[in-house]
Amino acid sequence: MSHRNREFEIISKQATEGVKELLGVPSDFHVFFTSSANEIWERSIQNLVGEKSLHFVNGAFSKRYYEIAAQLGKKPVKFEVEAGHGFSMDIPVEDGVELVALTHNETSTGVSVPMDFINQFREHYPNALIAVDSVSSLPYPQYDFSKIDTLFFSIQKGFGLPAGLGVWIVNDRCIAKSEELLARGLSIGSYHNLPTLLQHGKKNQTPETPNVLGIYLLGRVTEDFLRRGIKIIRSETEYKAAILYQALSVHPYASPFVAEPAHRSKTVIVAQSGDHTKLISDELAAAGLHAGEGYGDRKKTQLRFANFPAHSREQFEKLVDELEKIR
Amino acid sequence: MSHRNREFEIISKQATEGVKELLGVPSDFHVFFTSSANEIWERSIQNLVGEKSLHFVNGAFSKRYYEIAAQLGKKPVKFEVEAGHGFSMDIPVEDGVELVALTHNETSTGVSVPMDFINQFREHYPNALIAVDSVSSLPYPQYDFSKIDTLFFSIQKGFGLPAGLGVWIVNDRCIAKSEELLARGLSIGSYHNLPTLLQHGKKNQTPETPNVLGIYLLGRVTEDFLRRGIKIIRSETEYKAAILYQALSVHPYASPFVAEPAHRSKTVIVAQSGDHTKLISDELAAAGLHAGEGYGDRKKTQLRFANFPAHSREQFEKLVDELEKIR
């Protein structure tokens, strides 16, 4: 299919409107397509930061966002805590911050930041844009869009689709910032800068030939999620997370990696399994359950469990039963 | 499927090796994946141009490549001819050119540049990199890789696949140039700069979560093309182009838009059909054949026919028969 015809515009509109309805995105926000969330790290820095961004780093992915800002010639600052830990509510005071970069759910460690943490930045940094990477948590979290300016995710995690599409939600403050940077003579990129995305997005088009199949499938999946009901998806996510954390808490060979319950992710649940990692992984595999490896140098000592809408309650109940047998 | 496992590496290797074998790419060239050829316009300027690129412009797509260079803060120069025309062999002499940007097949007009034209730049610009956009012509053209430094295409044209993947072929001179720009303190982008693509590519990996399905399908299609034989695909392409140009040349209501036979594309054949455009389009549609619209302001006065490996000889013979009936 050509991406310059009416048929594509309908597909594109279904996907953007589906995302808006599902996540409760207000009308002054726009939904754009990129090729990955990784691309959005880059585009958001290019389009929203002249010099200084402030990054909350607690794992490999939030760190990569910070590094990209440095690679693009900006002067980012970071506030870093150890893997497996969250942030205290005492947030640092920094001058001249143009963008606060928050990773809602750090996929490498299973740490999630509470909504209260995200929602305090508007008051502390009224002149900055607030960016939230929600790659491995959406559609679960419910955001207060009056407290953030841009939100993004990719479709291969919670939306259960083949990889190759990033979804970038921005408000008019973001558009204005990109125009201001451009007027100051800074490069904000070319075909995927915000003014160009907006110009095409208004017509339900894209600047380049996009991943049409991915956009089509996103429209179908949001329709399916809306039919199931986002409230039900959220409560099921909480139920599944609760029974798994409970099973890990009492297990002789494993425990939740994130000690502080308030910082535990509902969608990426990480078990500290040490020397028993292979045993647990093998036993679960024998029961038809695939546990993800730990991230990076914790590959052999941790297991990661995705808790997405595609995972049923029954699967999680079976997972808990099988875990209980391993002792 | 995760993109950080052995299974993905095998898929990625099959696709890159398939591309190399099919197109006869020498071993000192690398094959990388991006999200579109549009992205490669941007990445190639970022990574291969400090200040000055020279662009041969004869339509909307070659012009866009030039514009992207300007958007990225470079000082591109262009050598432009009218739509429907090719370039003479008298090439302009410009000082300080770091990249010569050539569009092998201008999709908007159906003009292709002869291989002799491409192959002369190495001698005239020994210090420049030679870049060839081959979006709507590959796998048809056979390149002399000693005369070019980078070549790129996307998979939704000649490879007949769903859109959402660009393939970027570069040699070691390109890698060296990107490293030189980086050492000089210029930004060459982040996750998709050449050193990062190379670092991951060596392991058959990608920096970001890519369009895994597109990469898998590219591997399958190159396998299929190799089974059919690239020589047969090329000779069939020439046969189909020849019978269509012949039919247009003698048609009472249409003629080839590109007057000079040496500049006529074999893969995107544009008919000047004037007031008869709708009549021809409707009659072909009634026979089950879909003619593409003209590009931009030639939408109502031209028709464009794609001639890709997925189009059979029989389809083109039928197209010619149907065209002959319209008079």
**pLDDT at residue A60 is higher than 80:** yes
B190 with A67: Cβ contact below 8 A: yes
Residue ranges in chain B assigned as alpha helix (H)? 6-23, 37-48, 60-71, 115-119, 121-124, 172-183, 194-201, 212-228, 230-249, 277-286, 313-325
**Tens digit of each residue's pLDDT (9 = 90 or more) over A62-110:** 999 999 999 999 999 999 999 999 998 788 889 999 999 999 999 999 9
Q: Taking residues A3-23, what's their average pLDDT?
A: 94
**pLDDT at residue A224 is higher than 90:** yes
The CATH class of the A230-325 domain is alpha beta
pTM (2 decimals)?
0.93
- Burial class of residue B232 in the structure, from the number of CB atoms within 10 Å of its CB (0-12 exposed, 13-18 middle, 19+ buried): exposed
H or E stretch covering A39 = helix A37-48
A156 with B209: Cβ contact below 8 A: yes
Closest among A52, A101, A50 to A80, alpha carbons compared: A101
Q: Which of B35, B168, B200 to mutate to test the interface with A (most CBs of A within 10 A)?
A: B35
A185 → chain B, closest CA residue: B73
DSSP string, A95-153: TT--EEEEESEETTTTEE--HHHHHTHHHH-TTSEEEEE-TTTTTS----TTS-SEEEE
Residue numbers in A near B154 (CB within 8 A):
209
Write down the pLDDT at residue A216: 97
Average pLDDT over chain A reads: 96
Write down the pLDDT at residue B211: 95
A67 with B154: Cβ contact below 8 A: no
The CATH number for A6-227, chosen from 1.10.3210.50, 3.90.650.10, 3.40.640.10, 3.40.50.300, is 3.40.640.10
d(CA B107, CA B111) in angstroms, rounded, equals 7
Q: Within chain B, which residue ranges are assigned CATH 3.40.640.10?
A: 6-227
Task: Report DSSP state, residue A179.
Answer: H
Q: Within chain A, which residue ranges are assigned CATH 3.90.1150.10?
A: 230-325
Write down the pLDDT at residue A90: 80
d(CA B79, CA B87) in angstroms, rounded, equals 9
Task: Report DSSP state, residue A264.
Answer: B
Q: Within chain B, which residue ranges are assigned CATH 3.90.1150.10?
A: 229-325
**Tens digit of each residue's pLDDT (9 = 90 or more) over A246-258:** 999 999 999 999 9
Q: Which of B209, B213, B268 to mutate to test the interface with A (most CBs of A within 10 A)?
A: B209
A68 with B191: Cβ contact below 8 A: yes
Q: Phi/psi of residue A126, each to 5°?
A: -65, -25
- Three-class SS state of B169: strand
d(CA B287, CA A37) in angstroms, rounded, equals 44
CATH code: domain B229-325 is 3.90.1150.10
Write down how long chain B is: 327
Which residues of chain B have a pLDDT value below 70? none
Task: Report DSSP state, residue B237.
Answer: H
Question: B45 and B152 in contact (C-beta within 8 Å)?
Answer: no
Write down the pLDDT at residue A4: 78
Q: Name the minimum distance, in Å, from the CA of B188 to any CA of chain A.
A: 8
Residues 6+ apart with CB under 8 A from B213: A162, A163, A164, A213, B162
Number of H helices, E strands in chain B: 11, 13
Residue numbers in B near A41 (CB within 8 A):
190-191
Banded pLDDT at A3 (limits 50, 70, 90): confident
